[in-house]
Amino acid sequence: MNRCTTLCQLLLVVVVAHQTIAQPVAVHYPQASVHGFLTIHSETGTVLGYGESTQAASGDRVTVRTTLHFLDGSLDDETAVFTQHRVISFVSDHHIQRGPFFKNAIDATVESSGQVSITTTGEDGKVKQESSHISLPADLSNGIVGPILDNLPHSTAGVTLGMVLPVGKGRLIRLHVTPDRTESFTAIQGATRTATVFRIKLDLGGVAGAIAPIIGKQPADVMLWVLEGVAPVIVREDAQLSEGGPIISIQLAGTSYP
């Protein structure tokens, strides 16, 4: 196969991918107002801090805020808004990261209009402000991956979602979400429950996506534990909070895992 044929095939794949229509997730379990407490652990189980997650519903509009406080004084604070009228529709997301746990301090805002504003403070103290306008898909999931997964049908084969990473002026990527396995965990007072574990692969797309695995910068898969039932809820998330950062485990307080 010559280089021209290979290039044509690659271009065809890109064109087909861009022709795929993004579909928002239908509302099966309307979100209500809740308040939960979280614990943060390293991969080896060391406690790194604590957090809180609040969700306030007013009509079809829901505001979700997750705040993580690290023992070293670092902070990860994200507030997202979405509507749930038949489908889950992204409205806005404001994400702040600062402190020694993170290589760079970030203050990023994404609006449903496509306006993206990102302020980054590097290790050298230099501040860089970027803004852009991005054509956003209907399935954008910044800050609302949890509510979206809570609304997936129990027998789902998976879903693909959009997300804007706070890189440069903002980079639109795809998240491929699939059920991976089921796993038991222990809740309060030793009660045992079984969660569905979802795997989320970050598809960087384009040239960056092609070379990332080669140079070792492909982000690690995100793993989410969802306790399904009449009121689905995420009980654990294992993920990198920032580019090149360590994988940490964010767990609902009072739960433990094998």
Distances (CA, A) of 195 to 63, 178, 181: 25, 14, 9
Q: Are 236 and 221 in contact (CB under 8 A)?
A: no
| Per-residue pLDDT tens digits for 121-149 | 988 899 999 999 999 999 999 999 999 99
3-state DSSP: the chain helix, strand, coil percent, rounded to 5?
15, 50, 35
Query: For position 10, what pLDDT does the model report?
Result: 35
Distance, CA of 246 to CA of 64 (rounded, Å): 24
Mean pLDDT for all residues in the chain:
89
The confidence band for 190, taking pLDDT boundaries of 50, 70 and 90, is: confident
The confidence band for 208, taking pLDDT boundaries of 50, 70 and 90, is: low
Among residues of the chain, what percentage have pLDDT more than 90? Answer: 77
